[in-house]
Amino acid sequence: MIITRRFKFSAAHLYRDPDLTPEENRARFGACYSEYGHGHNYVLDVSVRGAVDPRTGMIVNLKDLKQVVQERVIARYDHKHLNFEVEDFRGTLPTTEALVLRIWDLLDGRIPGCDLAKIRLYEHDELFAEYAGQPA
């Protein structure tokens, strides 16, 4: 059984390679390049897998899931400039793909009673990245 809970946070990021000129950065990153960055209202779907507990009828206590995601992800990224305020992205671009991989690392093995199945992060309605861990 898999269940998914949705979370939201807002953050800014900057796509800029310091080794490139502004013109080269614009050519590489298009509208995502700017001097100061830009922000998104991210939507994060966290899917967990487990057996249904016959006593509770649930695979996870959603209160526990919410607490772990709040403490490990939302508090870390919400209303932050990812390039400058979050150590996770020092020296690397905080792309949607990079965020998903980092969020997976922050949550994997930390949700009581179940396994992390999949992470999906929407940067906006038309763009998301998804990760389900390394294949066995």
Question: Does residue 25 form part of some domain?
Answer: no
Tell me if 52 is assigned to some domain.
Answer: yes
Whether residue 98 contacts residue 92, with contact meaning beta carbons closer than 8 Å, is answered with yes
pLDDT digits (tens, 9 = 90+) for 12-60: 999 988 899 999 999 999 888 888 889 999 999 999 999 999 999 999 9
Q: Which tens digit of pLDDT belongs to each residue from 122-131?
A: 999 999 999 9
Tell me, what CATH number does 68's domain have? Answer: 3.30.479.10
Residue 34 lies in a domain: no
Count the domains in the chain: 1
Q: Active-site residue 32, yes or no?
A: yes
In a domain, 60, yes or no: yes
Catalytic annotation present for 124: no
16 located within any domain: no
- Of 136 and 49, more confident: 49
The verdict on pTM exceeding 0.75 is: yes
Q: Please give the residue range of the domain that contains residue 97.
A: 2-9+40-131
Catalytic residue of the set 24, 38, 79, 124: 79
- Is 123 a residue of the active site? yes
- Domain annotation covers residue 71: yes
The answer to the question of residue 100 being in a domain is: yes
Q: DSSP per residue over 27-79, as a string?
A: HHHGGG--SS-EEEEEEEEEEEE-PPPTTTS-SS-HHHHHHHHIIIIIHHHTT
